[in-house]
Structure 1
């Protein structure tokens, strides 16, 4: 799923960059981002919202999985390479702009409850979700566990994201120092009062996160 998300997010810009580099240099260009921790500088970063996504996957009746994407993730990262465990993350995910490959599925996710009852899933005009880190524990050279509170559907509960540093360098267009991360987490949607059709539709929701942060 990560490859799918990255392809959606980067296809247009990467195609243009590759074409321009080949024409200018006569060969494949050097990518500006690299998995090199020495490129990370301390400071406050903001998401590149156009290229930051949270994907989700849930099982359907035990037959197969279906999935969707939240885009335009906004927020900040405070980081100091000399003290990574003091890093802070605060991001907001616009639930109302969920994207799926099926108009029918998207409509059902946003549908009001029947006869004034609770909706099956998000319902119309859902509030954005927000994740605020409470601690960070490094687990390897490029990996960490980010513990924090996820507020979704009016409920706040702790979530741990398994994060992996995926690249750093200067953005090729605006020249800002940029960091990239991938992350995964699994939540039980019923704990956020989103338990429609459980267990026929799976309670466990797998989250696949890809976020770029630009230095401010």
Structure 2
């Protein structure tokens, strides 16, 4: 029986793929951060502003939710995995970094008030917002916590509680630093902080979605 070259190549292709699959998988780089709390070490950590964000969501006119971001979040975390309730976190959110998908809306959020009135939202030179924890209550699962603290925004300070979740820990292959990351959610009423523009057709409730990578200080 004679086998054509085309048939031989067709039959050989699956075998070549099978033989080559193992080396290809073995060469894949390992993910440096893993959801393993045993990797977390005690110490003082500093937020990586390039990879730390606070997202916000409001409802627009009852039709849909609209999203935006605050970037360049900075701050510190003092953490001991043997005593998570003693953790302390302090972060600073530069309100002037507010960003949406609309250049016009970005300008509106930061423009001064008309004819000497208060701005609709933040104004052209807003002070940084800050969050300073006052109590940490670890969750029963060992990877979550309720973080109570004081949020200062638009010159007003109010208590806010963040539902936090451990994401991963390990050595950052880019910076070489031991890193731990968390996500968090909270809901605030913007009217509590004097941010009253477009109420009530743009919702008073603002959902916050927080993602922060903390790098261990040397």
Match of 1:145 in 2: 146
Match of 2:70 in 1: 70
Provide structure 2 residue ranges, at least 5 long, that are not aligned to the other structure. 1-23
Is 1:134 the counterpart of 2:134? The answer is yes
SS at match of 2:202: coil
The superposition leaves residues 159-215 of structure 1 with CA deviations (integer Å, 9 ceiling, x where unpaired) of 000000000000102221100000000000000000222111100000000000000
SS at match of 1:120: coil
- Take 1:150 and 1:209, find their aligned partners in 2: how far apart are those partners? 14
For residues 15-164 of structure 1, what are the structure 2 equivalents within 5 Å? 27-139=27-139, 140-164=141-165
SS at match of 2:83: helix
- Take 2:54 and 2:100, find their aligned partners in 1: how far apart are those partners? 12
* TM-score for both structures, normalised by structure 2: 0.86
Match of 2:9 in 1: none
Please, what is the CA RMSD of the aligned residues? 1.4
- Take 1:72 and 1:103, find their aligned partners in 2: how far apart are those partners? 19
Residue 64 (structure 1) shift: 1.0
SS at match of 2:85: helix
Match of 1:191 in 2: 192
Is 1:212 the counterpart of 2:213? The answer is yes
- Take 2:27 and 2:160, find their aligned partners in 1: how far apart are those partners? 44
Residue 25 (structure 1) shift: 7.5
4+ long deviations beyond 3 Å: 24-27
Provide structure 1 residue ranges, at least 5 long, that are not aligned to the other structure. 1-23
The superposition leaves residues 90-148 of structure 1 with CA deviations (integer Å, 9 ceiling, x where unpaired) of 00000001111100110110111111001111111100000000000011321000000
Alignment: residue pair count: 194
* TM-score for both structures, normalised by structure 1: 0.87
Larger of the two Rg values belongs to structure: 2
- Take 1:50 and 1:90, find their aligned partners in 2: how far apart are those partners? 17
Residue 67 (structure 1) shift: 1.1
The superposition leaves residues 22-41 of structure 1 with CA deviations (integer Å, 9 ceiling, x where unpaired) of xx986432100001111011
- Take 1:149 and 1:207, find their aligned partners in 2: how far apart are those partners? 15
SS at match of 1:81: coil
